[in-house]
């Protein structure tokens, strides 16, 4: 049974998957900084830092809105196949199970969105 509205769920799940995307970005930044695979690291580091900054700003806005809505997300349990999260909003609770490859796909989509948003913003600002 669903206890959260569609907009509450959309907000909380965006926050959840954006937080996961930030972890991926930060790990990739660290890997590039410490790795020696790339001959010229700076452009990639610059891009990842800009993406990270944009994601952090969005997550901060989401967190503020979630606080106002009394909306929380808590990790419950994880195994090789599924991860469970508890969504709480105004005393209503809803448990959702996510297939781990589906989580990966959601995080990948958010990374694509962040990259596209950044490249589109750069493209439009450089032509003005």
* CA 73 – CA 38 distance, rounded (Å): 37
Listed as ranges, residues in the chain with pLDDT below 50 are none
Phi, psi of 70 (to 5 degrees): 55, 45
Residues of the chain above pLDDT 70, percent = 93
* CA 89 – CA 105 distance, rounded (Å): 26
Domain map (residue ranges) of the chain: 6-120
Nearest alpha-carbon partner for 15 in 50, 66, 51 = 66
pLDDT digits (tens, 9 = 90+) for 88-97: 998 899 999 9
- The predicted model scores a pTM of 0.88
């Amino acid at each position: 049974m669903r206890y959260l509205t569609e907009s509450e769920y959309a907000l909380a799940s965006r926050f959840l998957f954006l937080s996961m995307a930030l972890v991926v970005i930060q790990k990739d930044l660290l890997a590039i900084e410490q790795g020696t695979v790339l001959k010229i690291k700076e452009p990639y580091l610059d891009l990842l830092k800009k993406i990270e900054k944009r994601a952090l700003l969005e997550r901060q806005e989401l967190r503020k809105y979630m606080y106002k809505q009394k909306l929380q997300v808590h990790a419950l349990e994880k195994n090789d196949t599924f991860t469970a999260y508890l969504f709480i909003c105004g005393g209503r609770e809803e448990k959702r199970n996510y297939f781990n490859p589906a989580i990966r796909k959601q995080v990948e989509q958010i990374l694509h969105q962040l990259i596209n948003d950044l490249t589109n913003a750069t493209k439009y600002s450089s032509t003005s």
